[in-house]
Amino acid sequence: MRCCENVGLKKGPWTPEEDNKLLDYVRNHGHGKWRSVPAKAGLQRCGKSCRLRWINYLKPDIKRGNFSAEEDRTIIQLHALLGNKWSIIAAHLPQRTDNEIKNYWNTNIKKRLITMGLDPISHKTIKPNTFEACGDGHDQSKDTINIYHMAQWESARLEAEARGSMVQVGSGSSRSSGLILSKIPIQPCLSSHSVSTEPNTVYNMYALVLAPNHDFRSSVSTLSFPRFPAVSNTPQITNKESSLSYKSDNSFMGASGQRKKVMESWVSNLQDDDIMVAVEAFRTARSDSIEELFKEPTSV
DNA sequence: AAGGTGTGCAACCGCGCATTC
DNA sequence: AGAATGCGCGGTTGCACACCT
């Protein structure tokens, strides 16, 4: 008979008296052999319940309370890599239990990702036509596309973070932060995604890169465009200006006045496919080439 | 003030794997 | 070799509390 099938045993919340009995027992005898613990400790509980109570609540090195931004980030990174492997994720957060992380994911992070237009399972974007229209009178399509762009951007950023974790774990690198993903190979583009600004010259339009000193705590990501396309009725922009940074509120960083207008005009005309080219260029970059980057860091 | 609803979290449950007999 | 047992994991439930109507 399984221990949890025993009749007459208490279930539900633990009382302080029960906690004390279990604590006393474990202090004196150590843990393990959970099936025999209830009888020896004088508890009307099954062994499984005792084990759970110890692991999730009574163990002395458990950290309780709010999750820090660092922990939050680690959970998202590892979940992107591992999925619902809570115990493995918990192993990277030594003072947190798998149950606590699982609860935090389900009640907090999961909802946040959905709000951002990200699928909490795959960490990839949800297609814009799956968003509900609000029907409050004003044009929702632009907002929807903007959210979708941001979501794709964020999705790629999360993936970069996850890859960074994987590379760091795999290589045993002592690099603590400032992940370098600066030299993502630019993929050959379809003609519709390339632009010619000079005779006989075709440039790849987008390459998604994260700057060498990219701070993952920041809500800002940078998307670099090796060559800005000509936008009709707007001044030309030089190469060195052709880098945009998105903030989480969908505004641009480091741009002002005419340049900002040009950028806004240009970005507002971006098609989903355009963004996808940049994101896919990043996604299809091979992990081993990223490993190489750690050996010989290069700047953007 | 009272009932309804939503949220967070501790605890339970069933399953599967590893070990022991 | 196969059954029994122990343990760990991930999904789910249900309770307590907060907030809303």
pLDDT digits (tens, 9 = 90+) for A28-78: 887 777 878 888 888 888 888 888 888 888 888 788 778 887 888 788 878
Q: Which residue is nearest to nucleotide B6 (CA to C1')?
A: A107
What rounded mean pLDDT belongs to chain A? Answer: 57
Region A271-300 average pLDDT: 42
A104-144 pLDDT tens trace = 888 888 877 777 777 777 777 665 544 443 344 444 445 45
Cβ proximity of A78 and A162 under 8 Å: yes
Give the pLDDT band of residue A176 (cuts 50, 70, 90).
Answer: very low
Cβ proximity of A195 and A202 under 8 Å: yes
**Other CB atoms within 10 A of residue A95 CB:** 12
Per CATH, is A9-58 categorized as 2.60.40.420? no
Per DSSP, what are the bridge partners of residue A297? none
What residue ranges of chain A are covered by domains with CATH 1.10.10.60? Answer: 9-58
Residue A22: per-residue pLDDT: 86
3-state helix, strand, coil in chain A (%, to 5): 50, 10, 40
Residue A161's closest CA among A201, A118, A190? Answer: A118
Could you give the angle at the alpha carbon of A207 between the alpha carbons of A229 and A241, nearest 5°?
50
The distance (Å) linking the CA of A114 with the C1' of C21 is 27
Helix axis angle, A140-171 relative to A287-295, nearest 10°? 60
Per DSSP, what are the bridge partners of residue A204? A194
Which nucleotide has the least CA–C1' distance to A48?
C7
| CB of A190 lies under 7 Å from some atom of strand B | no
Q: Which nucleotides of C are covered by protein (CB under 7 A)?
A: 5-12, 15-16
Residue A262: per-residue pLDDT: 55
Q: How far apart are CA A117 and CA A145, in angstroms?
A: 11
Which nucleotide has the least CA–C1' distance to A12?
B11
